Amino acid sequence: MAVRLTKDAFSGDASACVPLKKTNFKILVMGDSSVGKTSLLRQYMTKAYDTTLRSTIGVDYMRKDLVVDNVLVTLQLWDTAGQERFKSLTPAFYRAADACLIVFDVTNVQSFNNLEGWLHDFEQNCGEGRTCAVLGNKTDLADARVVPQ
């Protein structure tokens, strides 16, 4: 059981230890190969940038616990491979997804053009009406940018 300790928790007030509600939130991270999905997730999880990452094979899973409005939220982050040859593996991981984050590379116009296909795949496997966000990555490479702001 998760418990949130308030500032009065050590003052002898037993009511200061309040059990938290718990919930899981499954997010699929999708997009073409080499757009930076794994780098984004690793940086979010570890607060460090890793330049030695290789392409994801199949699906990689990460989790992070957060407290939001006195609710313990377990983020289940599913990092999907962007290569076409792994697309047949992905539908099994779509099950029970709450949301998706579709990533494109601002230096690769084809990754931007493929956004609609990724959204279609998500809606086809999870149903319409779920939350999806689009994220343009590699914005630090301003001189190589081909997708307009």
- 100-139 pLDDT tens trace: 999 999 999 999 999 999 999 899 888 888 999 999 999 9
Radius of gyration of the chain (CA): 19
Residue 10 burial (C-beta neighbours within 10 Å; 0-12, 13-18, 19+): exposed
DSSP 118-129: HHHHHHHHH-TT
Residue 28 counted as domain residue? yes
Answer yes or no: is pLDDT of 4 > 80: no
Decide if 121 is inside a domain: yes
Structure tokens at 66: 């957060």
What's the domain count of the chain? 1
Residue 57 inside a domain? The answer is yes
Give the pLDDT score at 16.
Answer: 58
Q: pTM of the entire structure?
A: 0.76
Question: Does 42 have pLDDT greater than 90?
Answer: no
Residue 101 near residue 133, CB atoms below 8 Å: yes
Q: What is the CATH number of the domain that holds 91?
A: 3.40.50.300
Tokens of 123: 């809606």
Specify the range with the lowest mean pLDDT, choosing from 17-26, 54-63, 103-112, 136-145: 54-63
Residue at 13 is within a domain: no
Quote the DSSP letter at residue 142: G
**36 DSSP assignment:** S
> Higher model confidence: residue 49 or residue 4?
49
In this structure, what token pair is assigned to residue 135?
């994220």
